[in-house]
Amino acid sequence: MPNLKELKNRISSVKSTRKITSAMKMVAASKLRRAQDLAESSRVYADSLSFILSSLAGNTKNSSDLPEILTGRENSKISLLIINSSDRGLCGGFNSNLFRNAKNWISEQQEKGKSVKIITVGKKASSFYKKTDLDVIANFDDLNSNDKQLQVSEEIKYKIMELFENNEIDEVSILFNKFISVITQEPTYQSLIPLSNEEADEEVTDTSNAVFEFEPDKNELLEYLVPRNFLTQIYRSVLESSASEHAARMTSMDNATRNAGDMIDGLTLTYNRTRQAFITKELIEIISGAEAV
């Protein structure tokens, strides 16, 4: 028969866990709203920039005129993957989904005969990839404020520009959890070098209506625009990933709160039953004692 005191302690510990998870859920919900707002408000800049870039690139008929950093190198040998994870845990499958996905991607690249380098964002990724034998070039973490998110995106941008110029990498992709809805987040790849096809498709429709004059000339402008575009794409993925993180945490904490509730119900039932059994047992002892006399 279970010990009454033990049961009581367990109930109270599960109760306090439930308090924590429900508080975390509410915190995540309010942070999610903020993160979504940020993602929304940064979209204007990103959209205008990609519009400018595509009208510029679309205007240049011959793709060989475009700089390598836009079109990518032929026979690319080394790919760089930027992995956007979270700094903290307790967010369900947020990080493990991402890492599983990255693993597949990496082996795919290796089958094609490319070597893979990695830049991690967030503490979870850096501690995960420390244990593997992959080539991790840089870690960025503590993305707890919006300014810091922008600053980190900036640093990553310089890093990839430098690596590309030194021929240390030929391709760059970002992996992040795309925010689809509060309950769904999907690991998504976006190619930075070469520029993803998605935008190339937009060119055709966008440029037809307006012919722009460019100042300074196209090449100089492209030189300015390309790093700028990296920054916004990276920044966007960071924001998207942070919205996803909060959403994932919110759903998983919601589940945890519900599970804790179920557990408390079960434990309380056992507790009451055990207590009743003790009382009955004692009564029987008294009665049979009295009868014996």
Residues at the site binding another protein, with contacts judged by CB under 8 A: 38, 41-42, 44-46, 48-49, 51-52, 55-56, 146, 150, 158, 210-216, 220-221, 223-225, 227-228, 231-232, 235
Q: Which is nearest to 134 in space by CA: 103, 89, 88?
A: 103
Nearer to another protein, 15 or 228 (CB): 228
Q: Is the dihedral of CA 137, 140, 146, 147 positive or negative?
A: negative
* Residue 237 beta carbon to another protein: minimum distance, rounded to whole angstroms: 13
Q: Which long-range contacts does 39-45 make (Cβ < 8 Å, 24+ apart)?
A: 39/179, 39/236, 39/239, 39/240, 39/243, 42/232, 42/235, 42/236, 42/239, 43/236, 45/232
Query: Of 91, 118, 253, 260, which one is the catalytic site residue?
Result: 91
Q: In what order do the strands lie in the sheet with 185-193?
A: 135-140, 115-121, 78-84, 171-179, 185-193
d(Cα 175, Cα 162) in Å, to the nearest integer?
20
- Residue 38 annotated in active site: no
Angle at 282 between CA 281 and CA 287, to 5 degrees: 100
* Residue 213 beta carbon to another protein: minimum distance, rounded to whole angstroms: 5
* Residue 48 beta carbon to another protein: minimum distance, rounded to whole angstroms: 5
Residue 182, helix vs strand vs coil? coil
Contacts of 59 (CB under 8 A, 6+ apart): 207, 212, 214, 218
* Residue 11 beta carbon to another protein: minimum distance, rounded to whole angstroms: 47
Tracing tokens 């760089």 back to the chain, one arrives at 80
Q: Which is nearest to 168 in space by CA: 102, 80, 84, 82?
A: 80
Nearer to another protein, 116 or 174 (CB): 174
Nearer to another protein, 48 or 107 (CB): 48
Residue 144, helix vs strand vs coil? coil
* Residue 203 beta carbon to another protein: minimum distance, rounded to whole angstroms: 14
Q: Report strand pairing: 135-140 vs 171-179.
A: unpaired
* Residue 266 beta carbon to another protein: minimum distance, rounded to whole angstroms: 48
Q: Exposed, middle or buried: residue 217 (CB in 10 Å: 0-12, 13-18, 19+)?
A: exposed
Q: Which residues does the annotation mark as catalytic?
A: 91
